[in-house]
Amino acid sequence: MLQKDVKLDNTTKSWVLKKHIDFLQSFGKERHQYESSMMEFLRMSGMYWGLTALYLINDGKIPKEDEIFEYVKSCEHSCGGYSPAPGHDPHLLYTLSAVQIACLINRESELPIEKIVSYVSKLQQDDGSFTGDKWGEVDTRYSFCALACLSLLGKLNEINLVKAVEFVKCCQNFDGGFGSRPGAESHGGLIYCCVGSLSIAGRLDLVDADTLGWWLAERQLPSGGLNGRPEKLPDVCYSWWVFSTLNILGRDHWIDKEELKTFILASQDNEGGGFSDRPGDEPDPFHTLFGLAALSLMSYDKILPIDPTFCMPKAVINRLGLKPQTLS
């Protein structure tokens, strides 16, 4: 099978913790920076990526919590959903990000919980699947958003969980992986969404952990990086999608962690801080979160522990009393 990869130079890159903190803090430096620094159509998720990353390397400290919560409130809609920015349409992706941000700053009880529950549960279809918004696109990433969102709010019992699990199960393939819909090819990102959903639902018994673990372990390339599908280049974000799933399945030792660390560290921007998708590219908050989160799963330096199911700090998941299922 064709294998695409990148070549790392032989020098190990130094770990620039302080520069990563500066990189992440630069996104919230001035008032209304949130309104200008990230592409509008995904700003709410951009805040979740940046703030979660900062929490992990800044001793759990997040500056300007009031301003952050004010921004979340400004994206609230009467239907109970959240948009990426004020004036945009609500969507399940940004509703999950809004709830995650509120949990991160310990203010989820101030959200209109019943309205959010109503928004999410109305997006569930008869076959158990979820659409992302009123326009009707079904995808297993939305199953994860719905289950994670309600679980964080302690309201998982408000949807048909049996049907939600049944739909995810229908998206399982012969190779043990999962796709976006029944019959769709296995994909690292959607495998995380499906296994994460089953972890939240306490139904990991439905996963063929050995077959899937093998497929996931095969994602590691000679550079040490992981790709999301066969024949694709390695990408730091798959260090999260693929490696966190291996952690949930108790098979994280099926890949070479030292080599994965080397690849992730090679993807740092040693001048300005932050991580990019692969060595030499421009850093961004998305790959910075997933690079740091994967390093956290490998207990690297002083990075705080992350929960492999929710991609949120373990301390926050513990505070909420959640115990997503994992296999040993």
CB of residue 118 vs Zn ion: minimum separation in angstroms? 33
- The letter for the amino acid at 317 is I
Query: For ligand FPP, which residue of 71, 144, 243, 275 counts as binding (CB under 6 A)?
Result: 144
Nearer CB in complex with Zn ion: 94/241: 241
State phi, psi for 306 to the nearest 5 degrees.
-115, 150
- For residue 41, give the DSSP letter: G
**102 vs 96: CA distance, rounded Å:** 10
Q: Which of residues 159-188 bind ligand FPP (CB under 6 A)?
A: none
Question: Nearer to ligand FPP by C-beta: 16 or 311?
Answer: 311
Distance CA 273, CA 262 (A): 16
Interface positions, 228-257, toward Zn ion (CB under 5 A): 235, 237
- Based on CB atoms, which residue is closest to ligand FPP, 57 or 190? 190
CB 117 to Zn ion: min, Å: 31
Can you tell me the distance from the alpha carbon of 92 to that of 325, in angstroms, rounded to the nearest whole number? Answer: 23
Q: Which residues pair with 130 in a beta bridge?
A: 124
Question: Which of Zn ion, ligand FPP, none does residue 311 bind to, with CB < 5 to 8 Å depending on kind?
Answer: ligand FPP
Nearer to ligand FPP, 16 or 101 (CB): 101
The secondary element (H helix, E strand) that includes residue 130 is: none
With CB under 5 to 8 Å by kind, the binding choice for 277 among Zn ion, ligand FPP, none is: Zn ion
For residues 220 and 265, the answer to whether their CB atoms sit within 8 Å is no
277 contributes a contact to Zn ion by CB under 5 A? yes
Q: The tokens of 156 are what? A: 């998982």
Using CA atoms, how far apart are residues 169 and 177, in angstroms rounded to an integer?
10
Among 46, 50, 179, 228, binds ligand FPP (CB under 6 A): 228
Q: In the bound complex, what is the minimum distance in angstroms from residue 32's beta carbon to ligand FPP?
A: 25
